[in-house]
Amino acid sequence: MSVSLKTIAQELGVSVSTVSRVVNGKDRVDGNTRKRVEAALKAHDYQPNQMARTLRGKSSRTFGVLVSDISNLLFSRLIKGVEQAAMDRGYDVIVVNTDGDPGRVKRGVSLLLAKQVSGIIMASGGFDQQVEKKVREQGIPLVFIDTTPVRAGNFSSVSIDNVLAAEELTKLLIENGHSKIAVLAGPQNESTSIGRLRGFQKALEANGIQIPGHWIVKGEFGVEAGMAAAQTLLSERMRPTAVIAVSNSLAYGAMHALRRHGYQVPADISLASFDVIDDSYLIQPVFTTVNQPVLQYGTEAVRLCLRQRSQTAKAPYEQMVLPHRLIKGETVGPVAEESGCR
């Protein structure tokens, strides 16, 4: 298919080594020879065979990113952040979508290891012991962004301060007079949802607020779960006046359930959320939400991967915490008089 060093070497009557040397530009080569080789290289549009190179032990200069859901704006933005950071340093990136399924995570990681990536950036659930072992064995840097599975061993990570963010969000509700607050807390095996729930609880405690245990609804992250949870909460005798959803899809689901039951947000009930991003700017009301600095995540994740790689001694795992942003939006308001509606 493509021309090899050999072709060019033969054509010029020099050795493969010499051609290789000018390609790599490190070793010294006679000025004149270099000129001739360079010309031939260009004439053939020579591209080194990456397979061969990597086989010889060179870096593939590629990062792999795993995301749980490529069609969730949170993750697609995140990917863009990683891409940009990687590109700035001359690296490529391979994206793998996992649906948060451990089987697909495992397969995705195998793919990336097989492609000998320089680092793995993980923004997906479903990372289990088995996968961890594989990554460790290969000695490939891995950094978690956004969320880290609780059971994972020592790895670098980039995230926001989820506890603090949730505290702020909860305080916002409390300041608006709410004390009957429920939380759609998501799965309790991920740093994000765990931290967010903890922050929620801290804020309640700090304000001496007690809520019924079942107002803390643990479960999945998705839209369905959000709908179901909201539905259940609404069917109780005593209803919350505000709900916090720890993911964007939980928030969407909750919003639907609320609307279907005839509740106005925030007139009848307030809804605070995490990670809602609206590219169309057409969703109304605008969600009150905490946003993560996803573009910056990319930069830091790449940096951490690279550093880990260069370090010879014990891997310098680092938990990097970046500032979040609280978007006030329009879905949080003062407590309704006495929710009269249906």
Partner DNA sequence: CTGAAAGCGCTTACAG
Tokens (6 digits) for 181: 């607050």
CA separation for the pair 34, 43 (Å, rounded): 14
Binding partner at 70 among DNA, a second copy, none, C-beta below 5 to 8 Å by kind: a second copy
Longest CA pairwise span in the chain (Å): 91
Asked if 109 and 101 touch (Cβ cutoff 8 Å), the reply is no
Nearer to a second copy, 27 or 278 (CB): 278
For position 312 contacting a second copy by CB under 8 A, the verdict is: no
Asked if 313 and 149 touch (Cβ cutoff 8 Å), the reply is no
Nearer to DNA, 111 or 320 (CB): 111
- Please report how close the Cβ of residue 232 comes to a second copy at its closest, in angstroms: 20
CA separation for the pair 56, 38 (Å, rounded): 23
Nearer to DNA, 58 or 133 (CB): 58
Measure CA 90 to chain center: 21
For position 10 contacting DNA by CB under 7 A, the verdict is: no
For position 128 contacting a second copy by CB under 8 A, the verdict is: no
- Please report how close the Cβ of residue 36 comes to DNA at its closest, in angstroms: 9
CA separation for the pair 291, 69 (Å, rounded): 17
Map the footprint of DNA across residues 19-48, applying CB under 7 A.
Answer: 20-21, 23-24, 26-30, 33-34, 46, 48
CA separation for the pair 173, 243 (Å, rounded): 9
- Please report how close the Cβ of residue 250 comes to DNA at its closest, in angstroms: 44
Binding partner at 6 among DNA, a second copy, none, C-beta below 5 to 8 Å by kind: DNA
For position 12 contacting a second copy by CB under 8 A, the verdict is: no
CA separation for the pair 44, 63 (Å, rounded): 29
Residues 241-270 as x/- pattern, contact with a second copy by CB under 8 A: -----------x--xx--------------
- Please report how close the Cβ of residue 52 comes to a second copy at its closest, in angstroms: 6
Nearer to a second copy, 201 or 247 (CB): 247
For position 339 contacting DNA by CB under 7 A, the verdict is: no
Give the HSE-up count for residue 33: Cα atoms under 13 Å, Cβ half-sphere. Answer: 18
Binding partner at 337 among DNA, a second copy, none, C-beta below 5 to 8 Å by kind: none
Distances (CA, A) of 137 to 63, 85, 105, 129: 18, 27, 17, 12
Tokens (6 digits) for 283: 């969703």
Map the footprint of a second copy across residues 168-227, applying CB under 8 A.
Answer: none
CA separation for the pair 137, 230 (Å, rounded): 44
Closest to 310 (Cα-Cα) out of 118, 94, 93, 134: 118
CA separation for the pair 211, 240 (Å, rounded): 9
CB atoms within 10 A of CB 163: 18
Select from 210, 284, 310, 312 the one that contacts a second copy (CB under 8 A): 284
Select from 4, 33, 116, 176 the one that contacts a second copy (CB under 8 A): 116
Task: Tell which phi-psi region holds residue 45, choosing left (phi > 0), alpha (psi between -120 and 50) or beta.
Answer: left
- Please report how close the Cβ of residue 1 comes to a second copy at its closest, in angstroms: 5
Select from 12, 16, 23, 111 the one that contacts a second copy (CB under 8 A): 111
The residues binding a second copy (CB under 8 A) are: 1-2, 45, 47, 49-52, 54-55, 62, 70-73, 76-77, 79-80, 83, 92, 94-97, 107, 110-111, 113-116, 134, 137-139, 252, 255-256, 278-284
Which residues of this protein are in contact with DNA, per CB under 7 A?
Answer: 4-6, 13-18, 20-21, 23-24, 26-30, 33-34, 46, 48-49, 52-53, 55-58
